[in-house]
């Protein structure tokens, strides 16, 4: 019975989790790959069941082929999923996962021919699949790719400063290790070690760990639905009720055994025995309750311990977006809620909007706004302390300010509001929803949230000072670039023009303000690494030889190291690191191709090539504007090698057309004014 039930349970759970994640966010690449991984696990588990329960050798061999169809793709899909989760675009790892898929398809062909595994063993009443001639190689492939994926998770977990991300990666790492250990043990039958069905049991454990991480710790960004919330409350009710029923039954049973042992009955004696037994068992129930609260309901018995770790994480973050993400997840985990949001200040409109949210309605996220100088925001600015919904509800004050505060709290559907201060300014508001248990926020919760808010306020102040220092440092680098380019008439103002083109293209593509600013900064800094390149080579009037060109290529790595040291955001660093990559893979230094090249790098590539075409160079004269645009289009066509992104080239052409028309209109207006004067 165990041999048949466990694979069925493993298959159903894997399929259920995969579908849940896929249906939540079908457009996200990690979710799609996770679903395919779950599908492979389903095929493997159910085909294993088919092998076990086959009625003859021939039927078992048919099921074995399906068994390997599911199994051969598990390591490749797992590794690919790891790369998407940690957002790894390195050339080495992209080649590894491409090679992994290639080897998986190769093993699939071998599975059809019988080299991988067509042998079966019959023990007791069940058939078992065994590895064939190249089975040991296949086992090494599974362990190598799975092990390398786990190593990448460990490396990313040690590298990240985000407490929540580290927690998520830890869960997935444990799940992956258990999964591949189970698969490996299931294949040890080729060595005569019969450990069925431990591999399928490992799949069940992996599925539970993964589902727990998805629901409780929002693995790969899947938010908790309202249905899960009600299910959790139902399970919590059962977990609290069942122990009481068990105590009642055990007390009666023990009392009846006691009466049989002493051989006489007495009502007072029976009541006394039941009370003593109930008190002893109640102590055991209280210990069990702590376990239930911690692992089923995430109510941490002592919440002060994790505060220290979270505070250390917050103190080490110098990126505002990362800080807010860490705060959001940490606060939600501390108070056990699946609804949380951070309101950020829109300085232009002087309003607070939902910048980040968990379990927040999308329509509300787009429309909800709070005025800066009234209601909740004004109260938090003045009082600078945590405000609970219960305080507002209990308040007997009926003045306009309290009515406005009550209106705002009801609008955001919040139970606790924590001010995030930068100096004296309220730069954000952390909103926390109802707890899983439905209980009110306690004084201990308020103290913990107050400490968390204070730590974040200090971190925001440090980030402001840090950005001020970075700004001063950036100004110095700007000056250095101007001095560097002034030494060569061919490159004078080159970076300034590239920055202008790049930001205009980003604006034309409809990117947000942060992306436009990043494109501008990256454009100005893209050739910063020329500081480390010999002036003789940069000013050479003839074509560079291979050695000289190799030397020039180093400017990308040099520039990247400088901007990383400056602490600029990752988008700007990536823009500089990859701006010489080309869509067809002919660029350098990583030979990336297609969508693997970040958008900002593709924008910089078009901007730089265009500026290079329309300016004089030591070895050629500048192209006319018309010829330069023709050359750009050729480089973005498949017939021309498809080096540049055609959409970005079209965006640049639209920018130039707008610029030309506006200049023409301005010239016409000036001409009209001149005629009026002449009249």
Q: How confident is the model at residue 48 (pLDDT cuts 50, 70, 90)?
A: confident
Give per-residue pLDDT as tens, 395-415: 555 567 777 888 888 888 888
Q: Are residues 264 and 333 in the same domain?
A: no
* Domain annotation covers residue 478: no
Q: Are residues 424 and 328 in the same domain?
A: yes
Lowest mean pLDDT among 102-106, 188-192, 522-526: 188-192
Task: Report strand pairing: 425-432 vs 416-422.
Answer: antiparallel
Task: Say how far apart CA 251 and CA 645 lie, in whole Å.
Answer: 76
360 vs 650 pLDDT, higher one: 650
Q: How confident is the model at residue 45 (pLDDT cuts 50, 70, 90)?
A: confident
Query: Residues with Cβ < 8 Å from 453, sequence gap 6 or more?
Result: 386, 418, 419, 420, 421, 430
Q: Are residues 445 and 514 in the same domain?
A: no
Peptide bond into 197 cis (omega under 30): yes
Task: Say how far apart CA 38 and CA 16 lie, in whole Å.
Answer: 8
Lowest mean pLDDT among 155-159, 535-539, 599-603: 535-539
- Phi, psi at 285, each rounded to 5°: -65, -35
- Phi, psi at 666, each rounded to 5°: -65, -40
What are the residues facing 343 on neighbouring strands?
354, 429
Over range 452-465, report the average pLDDT.
Answer: 84
* Domain annotation covers residue 670: no
Query: Could you write out the DSSP letters of every residue in 180-247?
Result: HHHHHHHTGGGGT---TTHHHHHHHHHHHHHHHHHHHH-GGGPPPPHHHHHHHHHHHHHHHHHHHHHH
Contact 376, 429 (CB under 8 A): yes
* Domain annotation covers residue 128: yes
pTM above 0.85, yes or no: no
Enter the tokens of residue 403. 């009515």
Give per-residue pLDDT as tens, 309-341: 777 777 777 777 788 888 888 888 788 787 888
- Phi, psi at 90, each rounded to 5°: -65, 150
Q: Are residues 69 and 173 in the same domain?
A: yes
Over range 204-229, report the average pLDDT.
Answer: 65
For residue 554, how far is the Cα from the chain centroid? 31
281 vs 636 pLDDT, higher one: 636
Q: Residue 445 maps to which CATH number?
A: 3.30.450.40
Q: Residue 139 maps to which CATH number?
A: 1.20.1070.10
Q: Are residues 386 and 499 in the same domain?
A: no
Q: Are residues 539 and 450 in the same domain?
A: no
Enter the tokens of residue 493. 């103002």
Q: Write down which residue in 295, 316, 342 finishes a domain.
A: 295
Q: Write down which residue in 205, 221, 237 finishes a domain.
A: 221
Q: Are residues 238 and 335 in the same domain?
A: no
Query: Could you write out the DSSP letters of every residue in 558-615?
Result: HHHHHHHHHT--HHHHHHHHTTT--TTS--SSS---GGGS-HHHHHHHHHHHHHHHTS
The dihedral through the CA atoms of 358, 363, 367, 370 has a sign that is negative
Over range 243-262, report the average pLDDT.
Answer: 69
Q: How confident is the model at residue 188 (pLDDT cuts 50, 70, 90)?
A: low
Q: Which helix (H) or strand (E) holds 120?
A: strand 119-123
Q: Residue 660 maps to which CATH number?
A: 1.10.3210.10
Q: Are residues 200 and 242 in the same domain?
A: no
Q: Are residues 529 and 644 in the same domain?
A: yes
Boundaries of domain holding 576: 487-665
Query: pLDDT over 90 for what percent of the chain?
Result: 6
* Domain annotation covers residue 677: no
* Domain annotation covers residue 634: yes
Burial of 225 (0-12, 13-18, 19+ CB in 10 A): middle
Counting the structural domains of the chain, the total is 4
Give per-residue pLDDT as tens, 482-498: 766 666 665 677 888 89
Q: Are residues 246 and 366 in the same domain?
A: no
DSSP code for 122: E
Contact 306, 331 (CB under 8 A): no
395 vs 552 pLDDT, higher one: 552
Q: Write down which residue in 295, 312, 329 finishes a domain.
A: 295
Q: Are residues 216 and 233 in the same domain?
A: no
Q: Which helix (H) or strand (E) holds 419?
A: strand 416-422
Contact 217, 164 (CB under 8 A): yes
Query: Could you write out the DSSP letters of every residue in 339-358?
Result: -EEEEEEETTTTEEEEEEEE
For the cut 70, the answer to whether the pLDDT of residue 655 exceeds it is yes
- The distance in angstroms from the start CA to the end CA of the chain is 105
* Domain annotation covers residue 403: yes
* Domain annotation covers residue 199: yes
Q: Are residues 575 and 521 in the same domain?
A: yes
Enter the tokens of residue 48. 């294993």
Please count the residues of the chain: 679
């Amino acid at each position: 019975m165990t041999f048949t039930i466990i694979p069925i349970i493993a298959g159903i759970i894997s399929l259920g989790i995969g579908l849940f994640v896929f249906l939540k966010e079908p457009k996200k690449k990690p979710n799609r790959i996770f679903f395919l991984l779950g599908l492979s696990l389903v095929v493997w588990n159910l085909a294993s069941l088919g092998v076990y329960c086959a009625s003859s050798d021939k039927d078992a061999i048919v099921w074995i082929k399906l068994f390997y169809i599911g199994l051969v793709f598990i390591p490749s899909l797992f590794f690919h999923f790891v790369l998407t989760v940690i957002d790894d675009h390195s050339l080495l790892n992209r080649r590894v996962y491409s090679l992994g898929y290639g080897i998986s398809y190769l093993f699939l062909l071998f599975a059809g021919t019988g080299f991988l595994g067509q042998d079966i063993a019959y023990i007791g009443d069940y058939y078992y699949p065994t590895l064939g001639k190249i089975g040991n190689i296949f086992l090494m492939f599974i362990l190598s790719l799975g092990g390398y994926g786990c190593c990448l998770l460990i490396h990313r977990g040690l590298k990240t400063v985000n407490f929540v991300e580290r927690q998520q990666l830890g869960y997935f790492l444990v799940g992956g290790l258990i999964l591949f250990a189970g698969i490996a043990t299931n294949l040890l039958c080729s060595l005569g070690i019969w450990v069925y069905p431990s591999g399928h049991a490992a799949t069940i454990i992996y599925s539970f760990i993964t589902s727990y991480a998805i629901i409780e710790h929002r693995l790969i960004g899947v938010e908790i639905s309202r249905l899960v919330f009600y299910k959790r409350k139902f399970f919590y009710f059962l977990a609290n009720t069942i122990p009481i029923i068990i105590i009642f039954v055990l007390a009666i049973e023990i009392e009846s055994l006691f009466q049989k042992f002493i051989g006489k009955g007495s009502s007072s004696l029976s009541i006394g025995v039941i009370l003593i037994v109930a008190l002893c068992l109640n102590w055991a129930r209280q210990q069990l309750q702590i376990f239930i609260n911690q692992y089923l309901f995430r109510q941490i018995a002592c919440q002060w311990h994790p505060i220290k770790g979270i505070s250390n994480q917050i103190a080490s973050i110098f990126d505002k977006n990362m800080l807010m993400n860490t705060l959001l997840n940490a606060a939600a985990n501390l108070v056990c809620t699946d609804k949380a949001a951070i309101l950020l200040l829109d300085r232009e409109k002087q309003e607070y909007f939902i910048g980040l949210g968990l379990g927040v309605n999308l329509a509300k996220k787009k429309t909800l706004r709070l005025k800066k100088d009234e209601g909740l925001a004004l109260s938090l600015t003045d009082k600078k302390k945590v405000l609970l919904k219960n305080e507002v509800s209990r308040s007997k004050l009926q003045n306009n300010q309290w009515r406005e505060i009550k209106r705002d709290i009801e609008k955001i559907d919040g139970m606790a509001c924590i001010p995030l201060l930068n100096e004296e300014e309220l730069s954000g508001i952390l909103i926390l929803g109802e707890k899983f248990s439905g209980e009110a926020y306690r004084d201990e919760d308020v103290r913990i949230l107050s400490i968390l808010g204070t730590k974040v306020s200090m971190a925001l102040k440090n980030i402001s000072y840090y950005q001020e220092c970075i700004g001063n440092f950036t100004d110095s680098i700007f000056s250095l670039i101007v001095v560097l380019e002034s030494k060569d008439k061919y490159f004078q103002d080159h970076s300034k023009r590239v920055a202008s083109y790049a930001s205009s293209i980003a604006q034309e593509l409809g990117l947000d303000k942060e992306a436009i600013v990043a494109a501008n900064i990256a454009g100005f800094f893209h050739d910063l690494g020329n500081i480390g390149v010999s002036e003789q080579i940069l000013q050479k009037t003839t074509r560079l030889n291979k050695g000289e060109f190799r030397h020039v290529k180093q400017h990308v790595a040099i520039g990247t190291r400088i901007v990383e040291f400056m602490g600029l955001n990752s988008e700007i660093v990536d823009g500089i690191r990859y701006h010489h990559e080309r869509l067809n893979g002919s660029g350098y230094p990583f030979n990336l191709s297609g969508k693997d090249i970040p958008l900002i790098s593709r924008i910089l590539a078009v901007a730089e090539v265009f500026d290079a075409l329309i300016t004089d160079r030591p070895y050629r004269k500048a192209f006319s504007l018309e010829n330069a645009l023709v050359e750009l289009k050729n480089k973005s066509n498949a017939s021309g090698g498809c080096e540049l992104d055609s959409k970005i080239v079209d965006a640049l052409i639209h920018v130039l057309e707008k610029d030309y028309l506006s200049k023409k209109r301005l010239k016409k207006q000036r001409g009209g004014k001149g005629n009026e004067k002449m009249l």
